[in-house]
Structure 1
């Protein structure tokens, strides 16, 4: 099913509203700006730099809870700022949008601790304020610490999380797509009519996990439903992503692992009646580039000194559900059934070509990255990026944050021109919403997407509100 490289490569600047992201400890590097992750200037400069590089988006990861699987304690995560502390990623988006014109924003939000009614308004608001440049990265959570913080004993079972997500999405689709008809908002000053009540409808949803009875609070935004991102590549997660997502964030430390994940999702998408290439595939990638190869590897050695080993293992323990503090550093990690991110543990064990030692998983390296790891001069980096796209059929990459915003700026200044010279990267933005830029079609979800079935002309999913005394 692999297509030739006849489409532009795409990039997102992968970040997190925290001092630490995928590499614990790098915030302590003297040139790193993530020290100020809780300032607007940090986020505005990030967005402006990514837009200068014609990136499709700033993709903001998030996690609900703290990493306390490692040693049964949050201490390693707290000391190294391993995704802790973190602030609400949705709140930094409007400022970035105001400072830019084209770049999109993928915002991670855990639906497990949301309600569809309030959530639908929040993302409609973001879509309005960004003029249609927002996407939602759908996650269901994997940390028991977050569940305990919300008053539960533990997270839902892995597959049950996706069943709840199906119910949540049905409810928000009804609110976004079916509550307000096209033309409901008149803004007619002369007639003193803002909204036509006949075109606004009450949503009733009575699902196994969520119930809604009300009108969507926000008027339809430019995209109605935000662009839908997802990161599920386990068996159940893959089916969910293939059915709903428009872009998927996935990992794989080798080309065969990544290519198989892409094939599986595209095949599953076709089984739902969707065009397999209506889903943009974005693996994570760690890229270190400098004017010369020697300088790039010098920079790698410099960065590696700041990676916090315990913090990195705390992240991996949380992602896999395995307490790596109980294993010898020379010991290879083994597969066990987990309620965390199943695909991560499977990639490191069942799909790995060789046993991966615990100590190697905490290094700034291809093994530690769990995804493409590219170091070199601009031409070498461009060659590797094109090679990964050809071999795996991905659409582009979520570029991991290393030293912020140094590594992003280096990529923009050194690699983007190389890719443009080779004709595989855009030289200007298309106009329109994030969805229009990603797919070069209208701002709304296509009719083949399951959300389209909840539109007013697709069936009775809503009823007109009743007058109250």
Structure 2
């Protein structure tokens, strides 16, 4: 069977918590997830991933907690299901210090933090990591998070993306337009650090945000960090097609994955972007060992530690459906919710009917993504088949047991893919954007952020739009 020459890419899917996607497996005797609060956990992991030439460690996050299951948060606490959870952005520095090349993707929500202060935090991280930071843009899906910052509850799903569009506009203006190239002089002889004529107020006054002033940071190595996005609803796809450089998806079959990839690329082309410049990674969990038999035995061992209640805590939170109301033998039913719409839709794809018990078993190891199990050759065949059929660029790997899952991938699978000529053997130099795309450190001119580089022109256009209706009214009254 002929194989595609397209290179396969890996990201590691993590979260600053116990038991990210495999609830209950923190009890496994070889699991290290309970050490998430220790820097050594993250620096050890980063070194493993860099040895395996992973593009990045993608650190998920939620603001809030999973209290949909049985109407309370008890089982989330009992099983350690993404609570306690620590801040992801603070992990950028220790990971960068422990590695030279590994990208660091940080999740932060447009719903819970003002863009002006967040811009400073993100630019600081890009400076400290020498340009290896990416931002995973999310709009959030937990009602508990919105309630705890005084919002009362989440905005409707599509409205959250409307807010996110303006949020990005503010950041693009700050990152791309506030400080010109050459604004920072560091001229010791004349005593001039920066040229005020090349530093601009952004003058943003929109529907949701008013940010009149300057960006607090000088331009970081990438200016705008690499943009990650994981929305899979219709609104999320439009948002990704217009803004994202890396898109993460969670789709259960090759057919649904292929359709998603084609959809994103066609929407990107319609938005005037190069579809090949969007890298799409699918969520999977890989259990690999020396032989198929050993890998399947390992999976069976892992499943023995899985938590029925913990898995349903996650799936209830993701879908907004309280699966605790049903018996284990009941079928999963699609219900309209305000959570992750794509998660609800994917459960019903292909006409598949799930019982609650089947859903819990499936989600207990690796969440809702596909599970690949076998020897390195077996798994490599599966990955290549997915890439061939779907046009994926790579895979976002969830772990079952920390850090054993990633160590197994690096020890067994990566060398097999390298032997086949479909996996990198070394990193490119430069920033994360340069490593990923082989071009410059900044967003390309075809990206919507580029229009904000001449911020004075943008302000003049905005002022003209304000003045035009006034002039029309004067003319009519005259």
- TM-score, normalised relative to structure 1: 0.96
Report the CA distance between 1:6 and its aligned residue. Answer: 3.5
Whose Rg is larger?
Answer: 2
Separation in 1, partners of 2:256, 2:174: 38
Q: Tell me: CA distance 1:366–1:116, structure 2 relative to 1, closer, same or farther (3 Å).
A: closer
Separation in 2, partners of 1:369, 1:115: 31
Which runs of 5 or more structure 2 residues have no equivalent in the other structure? Answer: 462-478
Report the CA distance between 1:149 and its aligned residue. Answer: 0.7
Q: Deviations over 1:11-67 (max 9, x none)?
A: 111100001111111111111111110010000011110000000000000011000
Cross-structure match for 1:44: 43
Aligned length: 459
Cross-structure match for 2:465: none
Question: Residue 15 of structure 1: SS of its match in structure 2?
Answer: strand
The correspondence for 2:441, drawn from 436, 440, 443, is 443
Cross-structure match for 1:268: 267
Cross-structure match for 2:161: 162
1:142 aligns to 2:133 (yes or no): no
The correspondence for 1:452, drawn from 425, 450, 456, is 450
Matched ranges for 1:41-190 at <5 A: 41-190=40-189
The correspondence for 1:419, drawn from 402, 417, 420, is 417
Report the CA distance between 1:364 and its aligned residue. Answer: 4.3
Cross-structure match for 1:383: 381
Separation in 2, partners of 1:53, 1:398: 14
Report the CA distance between 1:367 and its aligned residue. Answer: 9.8
Report the CA distance between 1:368 and its aligned residue. Answer: 7.3
Report the CA distance between 1:353 and its aligned residue. Answer: 3.4
Report the CA distance between 1:458 and its aligned residue. Answer: 8.8
Could you tell me whether the CA contact under 8 Å between 1:253 and 1:367 is conserved in 2?
Answer: no
Separation in 2, partners of 1:439, 1:458: 30
Question: Residue 218 of structure 2: SS of its match in structure 1?
Answer: coil
Separation in 2, partners of 1:422, 1:376: 17
1:432 aligns to 2:458 (yes or no): no
Cross-structure match for 2:470: none
Cross-structure match for 2:25: 26
Report the CA distance between 1:328 and its aligned residue. Answer: 2.0
Q: Which moved more, 1:414-423 or 1:326-335?
A: 326-335
Question: Residue 153 of structure 1: SS of its match in structure 2?
Answer: coil
Q: Deviations over 1:192-234 (max 9, x none)?
A: 1111111100111111111101110000000000100011111
Q: Deviations over 1:375-394 (max 9, x none)?
A: 00111111111111111111
Separation in 2, partners of 1:241, 1:458: 27
Cross-structure match for 2:406: 408
1:279 aligns to 2:274 (yes or no): no
Q: Deviations over 1:294-321 (max 9, x none)?
A: 1101100111011111011011001001
Q: Tell me: CA distance 1:368–1:123, structure 2 relative to 1, closer, same or farther (3 Å).
A: closer
Separation in 2, partners of 1:462, 1:118: 25
Superposed CA RMSD: 1.6
- TM-score, normalised relative to structure 2: 0.94
Cross-structure match for 1:198: 197
Question: Residue 222 of structure 1: SS of its match in structure 2?
Answer: coil
Cross-structure match for 2:340: 341
Which runs of 5 or more structure 1 residues have no equivalent in the other structure? Answer: 464-469
Could you tell me whether the CA contact under 8 Å between 2:240 and 2:264 is conserved in 1?
Answer: yes
Separation in 2, partners of 1:142, 1:131: 32
Could you tell me whether the CA contact under 8 Å between 2:20 and 2:81 is conserved in 1?
Answer: yes
Cross-structure match for 1:467: none
Could you tell me whether the CA contact under 8 Å between 2:21 and 2:365 is conserved in 1?
Answer: no
Matched ranges for 1:309-320 at <5 A: 309-320=308-319
Could you tell me whether the CA contact under 8 Å between 2:303 and 2:364 is conserved in 1?
Answer: no
Could you tell me whether the CA contact under 8 Å between 1:204 and 1:462 is conserved in 2?
Answer: no
Cross-structure match for 1:399: 397
Could you tell me whether the CA contact under 8 Å between 1:59 and 1:106 is conserved in 2?
Answer: yes
Q: Tell me: CA distance 1:368–1:129, structure 2 relative to 1, closer, same or farther (3 Å).
A: closer
Separation in 2, partners of 1:457, 1:85: 42
Matched ranges for 1:187-226 at <5 A: 187-226=186-225
